[in-house]
Structure 1
Amino acid sequence: MAQRAPESMSISMPGGAAIDAELRPDDPGEMVELTMIEPVRRRVFECCPICGDPATSEEHVPPKRIGGKKLTLTCEPCNNRLGSYVEPDLIDWVEGAISRPLLRSDAVQGPRKEKRLLVRNTPAGEFILLVDGHAHPDLAAILASGEIDLDAVLPNWGRCKLALLKHAYLAACLTYGVLEGEVADEIRRDLVSARDAKSRQDVPMSRQAMGLTVCRTYEPTTDEPAIRAVLHEPAGAVEGVLLVGRIFVSWSSTVSEELPQVDRRVSRTLQVGPPIPGTVMSVRP
């Protein structure tokens, strides 16, 4: 995942028409008030702030794919192994992607796999699916059949919030020093447990991660990778970090003993019309 997925594009159609599609929420949600305090600056620790082993690996906060920068050092397992387990779900959520799609139609025998599909919406509320990368050679025949069965996986919210917990925790350590206390100990145990899982599917849920307050905007407010910020809620101010100008994550957690189900799949039958030639006029990454 080296190149960031496009957020919006404009496609010129025959007769002068155009299709504008962009990453936008299905439900805009409620407006919130956020005050940005100061950028989180680079700080190097001799020991990994997650597990305590020697810190030898440059860590992006948040992941580089979504705009993070090298702000600290962690150990190699906490950087790469933990990152490979939880950060793909965060990236899919940020980029509006569904993964491991299987496409079926009467035109070909058996399903065809794509890596990821990007979901983009038009101002009229229509959705567009974009293949992220090179499409399967049989995709044209599948589309021409007129009816497609799609099965895919939505981002796992438990792993996504673990990724947010990791980078909110690192941002807090960069701001205040390595955190101490029972809550910090539980966060570190949860992150190490996720790192040491046998596979991505075996990553355990985290009460601290699921209790985080997370807010998102689709229009970036700053180019800074991480900024200390305060969310103003009726119950009081919530301190946390604004990641890449888009995602606020609290530094406190409302933990719950009851953890929700987070595996989400999508299964749809899509009706596809005849192909219409078009030209991509502009793309915004």
Structure 2
Amino acid sequence: MTESDLQNEIAGARAYENLHVPALFKQWCNPVLDAADINPGDNVLDVGCGTGILAREAVSRTGSHGRVTGLDPGPGMLAVARELAPNIGWEQGVAESLPYADDSFDAVVSQFGLMFFQDKAGAIREMHRVLKPGGRLAVAVWDSLEHMTAFPESVAILREHAGDAAAAALSAPFVLGDKSELVTLFHSAGVASPEITTLVGQGRFPSLQAMMEADLRGWLPVMGIHLSEEQIQTILGIAEIRLADYVTADGEMVFEAPAHIVSSTK
């Protein structure tokens, strides 16, 4: 990776932290940490930590005698995570091959990362492996696209005006929404009795344009989809009409965003 590539990744990670984290992800930290039953003194691993919001929130529970480690494959995400919380141990690595010994952690958590792991069952198996006996695993994934609000219409707009690949990229976060398939996946990874709790969260962006630009200029390039400026402007104009029902009187973009939290005890 060149220095220019790294700086681009860091810029993208900062945008993610400043917009997506408060709009979508921060609200899920407490439910995930509750499901993992994290207590003072615990040694906690956050897999696919991104810019580290879940790990940062975990520190408030583990206290001065605990330890929190965040692992992510992205150097840009980790650079921003280190800036925000230098007291946390940030490490580069992949979920499918965790660089830790068996029975190392009291709790392992992962928030909205499992959908993107190359070997999902292998990643779950690894997270389970590094847990101590009696330790808790908690993994959050988004519900299915059809159970979301706003996003199905956004995906439809992209399919019509940017093609199937762009629509598939925006749909990717919702591929593990089927609960029966989710249970089967955890069983295949050796987790005998996964518990699934479905909660309804809320997406809240400063404006409709802010949300759409975050996807068009931020998320899609991460997924390898690069739209022309003409396409972006066309999609923004259409979205203003077709997503108007989700815009509040003060201009915010607000919609329901349900997710599943899968938990188990080793």
| Band of TM-score, shorter chain | under 0.3
Larger Rg: 1
Q: Normalized per residue, which structure has more strand?
A: 1
TM-score (structure 2 length as normaliser)? 0.27
